Amino acid sequence: MTEEKFGVPKLAPGYKQKLNPEYVALWESYLDEGMSGKGVADIFGVNKNTVAKYYPDKVWTREQQFEHFQTMRDASRIMRSL
């Protein structure tokens, strides 16, 4: 493990091991603050799918992302027409 600019332990690329539950528990505070699963994955050096595997209720699925995109697009169109 190495430490990056964020001061958190980060796995080296290509380094595969079973993740320590205490290490995985560190991710929760970042997700609770509103950081995306991809952002957490970048900080800790894991894949975003790994974050979603451990915290499925805190990481958006592709369907949720697309639904949000459609909602924001529709709202933007309504605002422009006013």
- Dig out the tokens for 53 from the structure: 């595997």
> For residue 26, what is the enclosing H or E element?
helix 21-32
pTM of the model: 0.65
**Per residue in 35-79, pLDDT tens?**
999 999 999 888 899 999 999 999 988 899 899 999 999 999 999
Q: Where are the domains of the chain?
A: 2-81
Give the pLDDT mean for 18-44. 90
